[in-house]
């Protein structure tokens, strides 16, 4: 029998905003260098090769993911917003704007089994990053949410899950430092 009830959960999320004097083009170029361009999106072919759930398949999966993950520990999961999509809602529609999906599947497969209750933490993996050019081309903002603050509510009190999610926080912060070069 299907569940007919819905539930709502309120929780706090920590969002970081970094400013860099670099142009959005430079930040996005640095990001693509670090995670691969949109054309580098390897996940569909990796997922397509999963046919059996045994140790041999798991080892092959890990090998393919390791080959796809880029220098800062992430792979490109896709660009969700291009600047062109804001023409009708933003008077400065020429500004650079990208919402990126990033993933480190190896951290995810370490983290998700830590959840005692469910795989609901998967809702927050992969992670998102918004790169937004400031008006007047006065630099760029890089916005992201700490995955641990979203994942922690899934299995409140689970220190193993929280510790694994904090590894993802640290990797994401490291990526932001690299792509912004002069982040303050």
Tokens 């899934």 sit at which residue?
154
Rounded-to-integer distance, Cα 124 and Cα 21, Å: 29
Domains of the chain, each with CATH number or no CATH: 15-180 (3.30.310.70)
Separation of alpha carbons 11 and 3, rounded Å: 23
- What is the helix, strand, coil percentage profile of the chain, to 5? 50, 20, 35
110: its two tokens: 């370490």
pLDDT in tens, the chain (184 residues): 566 788 777 778 899 999 999 999 899 999 988 888 776 666 667 777 677 677 887 788 888 888 888 888 888 877 776 555 555 555 555 567 888 888 877 777 777 676 666 667 667 777 889 999 998 889 999 999 998 888 777 777 778 888 888 888 998 999 999 999 855 4
Per-residue confidence (pLDDT) for residue 184, from 0 to 100? 47
User: What's the confidence (pLDDT) of residue 83?
Assistant: 53
The pLDDT, as a whole number, for residue 141 is 94
11 phi, psi to nearest 5 deg: -150, 165
User: Can you give the pTM of this predicted structure?
Assistant: 0.78
């Amino acid at each position: 029998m299907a569940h007919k009830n819905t539930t709502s959960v309120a929780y706090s999320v920590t969002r970081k905003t970094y400013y860099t004097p670099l142009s959005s083009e430079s930040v996005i170029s640095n990001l693509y260098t670090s995670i691969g361009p949109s054309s580098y999106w390897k996940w569909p072919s990796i997922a397509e090769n999963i046919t059996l759930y045994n140790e041999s398949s798991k080892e092959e999966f890990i090998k393919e993911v390791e080959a796809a993950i880029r220098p800062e520990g992430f792979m490109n999961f896709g660009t969700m917003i291009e600047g062109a999509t804001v023409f009708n809602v933003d008077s400065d529609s020429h500004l650079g704007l990208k919402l990126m999906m990033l993933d480190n599947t190896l951290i995810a497969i370490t983290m998700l089994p830590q959840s005692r209750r469910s795989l609901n933490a998967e809702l927050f993996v992969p992670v998102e990053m918004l790169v937004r050019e400031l008006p007047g081309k006065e630099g760029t903002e890089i916005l992201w949410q700490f995955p641990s603050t979203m994942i922690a509510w899934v299995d409140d009190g689970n220190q193993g899950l929280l510790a694994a999610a904090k590894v993802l926080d640290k990797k994401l912060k490291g990526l932001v430092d690299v792509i912004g070069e002069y982040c303050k």
